[in-house]
């Protein structure tokens, strides 16, 4: 049985799909799985042993300049790869119009969320088979249910298993006791205040723990270097591939992060982690896995689910909702996970 999975982005959504793939691979041991995905995240499917071929696309890049000959040529190559063979099942796990169009480009029996289940209901027009899945369930369970319905096996009643191969994700920092601070995010409303990161780094230093901070762009690098300049235990990581960053996460004693894709990566690797939620709600798309704690804001307008903060009242920090998640609270949650004595106690 040959199966095409369509889940193009974002990082957290892609990682949420891995447990469903694990279920399917166990239920259908003879199946071969291909995965259509945005080029930025093409490394992630390779971490799972069940994936045969990764088909990268660049929808985000192409839409900014599809008229260029090079972009058209890339699209035609991807289209030829999609149509090179016939799939027994095509599972659109994205539920968006763009992913449904990609599903329609492949040859085979198309499955996806039904009109009441898809994130963009019109996407269901492109599927031959629609499946109703509760929108109130966590994304991981929604995808596990979709795969079981589309591929016709009984949904297993077991703990989630991301199926990430430890032979691929290896740490180069096994001799050090360190934490990773995941401070970078695209939404301004998800950004925990820089002063709080400084204070948290100080608490980690008192506990004898080093801190690694990745930086995906110039803004994140500048912030990480400012924090490192005030805390002698912080090291800013150089540019790395996703697999290399996953290796750093895998070797960490613990992780503190905002609501970002790498926080989901830490959860998938079962690294003890505290994830901070102010503007967003972890109930449906939060980190899920072993040793995961959620630090949620308790504020009048939280979670607002907005990229830009609209709060205009008084506040100690910006965004104001994060004043209800101070560093001492996050550190207390981390020390509980790691079973270490909080700094300043005793």
Q: Please give the pLDDT value at position 258.
A: 98
User: Where residue 12 falls among pLDDT bands split at 50, 70, 90?
Assistant: very high
CA 120 to chain centre: 20
Is 160 a domain residue? no
Paired residues of 180 in beta bridges: 212, 255
Note whether 68 and 92 are within 8 A (CB).
Answer: no
CATH code, 237: 3.40.50.2000
**Percentage of the residues of the chain whose pLDDT score is greater than 70:** 95
Which range of residues forms the domain containing residue 88? Answer: 2-151
Q: Are residues 213 and 282 in the same domain?
A: yes
Is 166 a domain residue? no
Choose the weakest-confidence range: 168-172, 209-213, 304-308, 316-320. 168-172
Note whether 263 and 255 are within 8 A (CB).
Answer: yes
Quote the CA–CA distance of 114 and 80 in Å, as a whole number: 28
Q: Are residues 93 and 183 in the same domain?
A: no
Q: How many residues does the chain have?
A: 346
pLDDT reading at 4 higher than 90: yes
Dump pLDDT digits (tens) for 141-165: 999 999 999 999 999 999 999 999 9
Q: Are residues 125 and 207 in the same domain?
A: no
pLDDT reading at 343 higher than 60: no
Is 168 a domain residue? no
Q: What is the pTM of this model?
A: 0.93
Quote the CA–CA distance of 252 and 179 in Å, as a whole number: 5
Average pLDDT of every residue of the chain: 93
Number of domains, the chain: 2
Dump pLDDT digits (tens) for 173-210: 655 799 999 999 999 999 999 999 999 999 999 999 99
Over residues 277-284, the mean pLDDT reads: 96
**Structure-block tokens of residue 262:** 């790498």
Residue 256: strand, helix, or coil = strand
Q: What is the DSSP string of 271-308?
A: --EEEEESSS-HHHHS--STTEEEEE---TT-S---SS
Q: Are residues 135 and 256 in the same domain?
A: no
Rama region for 259: left / alpha / beta (φ>0; ψ in -120 to 50; rest): beta
Is 172 a domain residue? no
Q: Which of 106, 133, 151 is the C-terminal boundary of a domain?
A: 151
Q: Are residues 143 and 213 in the same domain?
A: no
Q: Please give the pLDDT value at position 52.
A: 96
Dump pLDDT digits (tens) for 218-252: 999 999 999 999 999 999 999 999 999 999 999 99
Is 253 a domain residue? yes
């Amino acid at each position: 049985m040959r199966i095409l999975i369509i889940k193009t982005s974002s990082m957290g959504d892609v990682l949420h799909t891995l447990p469903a793939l694990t279920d399917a691979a166990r239920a259908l041991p003879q199946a071969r799985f291909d995965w259509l995905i945005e080029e930025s995240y093409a490394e992630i499917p390779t971490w799972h042993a069940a994936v045969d071929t990764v088909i990268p696309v660049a929808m985000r890049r192409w839409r900014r300049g599809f008229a260029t000959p090079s972009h058209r040529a890339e699209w035609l190559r991807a289209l030829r790869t999609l149509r090179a063979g016939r799939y027994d099942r095509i599972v659109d796990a994205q539920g968006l119009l763009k992913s449904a169009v990609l599903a329609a480009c492949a040859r085979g029996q198309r499955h996806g969320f039904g009109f009441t289940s898809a994130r963009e209901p019109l996407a269901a027009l492109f599927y031959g088979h629609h499946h109703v899945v509760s929108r109130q369930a966590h994304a991981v369970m929604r995808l596990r249910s979709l795969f079981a319905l589309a591929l016709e096996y009984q949904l297993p009643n077991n703990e989630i298993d991301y199926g990430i191969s430890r032979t691929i994700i290896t740490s180069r920092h096994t001799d050090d006791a360190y934490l990773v601070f995941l401070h970078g995010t695209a939404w301004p409303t998800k950004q925990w205040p820089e002063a709080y990161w400084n204070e948290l780094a100080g608490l980690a230093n008192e506990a004898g723990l080093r801190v690694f901070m990745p930086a995906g762009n110039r803004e994140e690098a500048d912030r990480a270097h400012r924090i490192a300049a005030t805390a002698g235990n912080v090291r800013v990581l150089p540019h790395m591939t996703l697999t290399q960053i996953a290796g750093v996460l895998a070797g960490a004693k613990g992780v503190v992060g905002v609501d970002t894709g790498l926080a989901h990566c830490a959860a998938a690797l079962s690294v003890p982690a505290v994830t901070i939620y102010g503007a967003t709600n972890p109930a449906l798309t939060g980190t899920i896995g072993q040793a995961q704690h959620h630090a949620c804001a308790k504020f009048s307008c939280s979670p607002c689910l907005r990229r830009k903060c609209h709060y205009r009242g008084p506040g100690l920090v910006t965004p104001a909702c994060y004043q209800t998640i101070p560093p001492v609270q996050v550190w207390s949650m981390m020390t509980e996970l790691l079973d270490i004595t909080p700094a300043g106690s005793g």
